[in-house]
Amino acid sequence: MIGAGHDRSFAVDDEGVVWGSGLNSMGPIGVGTNMGFSLRTALVHTLKKVIGLNKEDLGGAEITQICGRELFALFLSSDGKVYVCGSSNDGRLGLANGAIKNRNIVPEPVLVEFLEPVSSNNPIVHISSGSRNSLVSERRRVWRTTLALLEKRIA
């Protein structure tokens, strides 16, 4: 499985390990960052393991979809969970304020907690993103993130 975002690329190997490379100035590759904002130091030239998304970390689940934009990425696991990393400005990651510790930057993927529980009978089945928002859909509902809110929309 492969995925891409603005200036970055991802791949999942046969063992379920997620790999990423490209521009990581605000953490959208999910390999952590202690880098500044200069282009020279923010480039990940070779594939690196994305932190916390291998099969073992996910309890046997695997990443099945990856999408991202210029400053963030979304990952969907086979058990219907959504993980995000990168810039959380404008609420684009859908995380509660307490989940973000460093200047609105989330350098490693974290699990998105929804306003209402996602059931195993109605799991998340698709992820998508715009430049400043994200969409995830269950079989019967669509969730949208923007402006620091996680909203439920009836499809």
Identify the band that residue 46 occupies on the pLDDT scale cut at 50, 70 and 90.
confident
Q: What is the percent of the chain where pLDDT is above 70?
A: 77
pLDDT reading at 63 higher than 90: yes
Mean pLDDT for the chain overall? 80
Q: Which residues of 53-86 are buried (b: 16+ CB within 10 A; e: fewer)?
A: bbbebbeebbbbbbbbbbbbbbbbbeebbbbbbb
What confidence tens digit (pLDDT) does each residue in 74-88 have? 999 999 999 999 887
Residues 92-116 have pLDDT tens digits of 777 765 566 666 788 899 998 876 7
- The count of domains in the chain is 1
Mean pLDDT (whole number) for 115-144: 78
- List the beta strands (DSSP E) in 70-148: 72-77, 82-87, 105-111, 126-129, 134-137, 141-146
Q: Which domain holds residue 27?
A: 2-154
The confidence score (pLDDT) of residue 45 equals 80
HSE of 73, CA atoms in CB hemisphere, 13 A: 38
CB 79 within 8 A of CB 123: yes
Cβ-contact 109, 84 below 8 angstroms: yes
Q: What is the pLDDT of residue 155?
A: 43
Indicate the SS3 state at residue 142. strand
- Tell me the CATH number at 96: 2.130.10.30
**Residue, of 129 and 12, whose pLDDT is higher:** 12
pLDDT beyond 80 at 1: yes
Phi, psi of 51 (to 5 degrees): -70, 130
Query: Across the beta sheet with 8-12, what order do the strands follow?
Result: 2-5, 8-12, 18-23, 43-49
Distances in Å between the Cα of 15 and the Cα atoms of 2, 56, 76, 95 are 14, 10, 16, 29
Tell me, rounded to whole angstroms, the distance of Cα 146 from its chain centroid.
Answer: 15
Higher local confidence (pLDDT), 19 or 89:
19
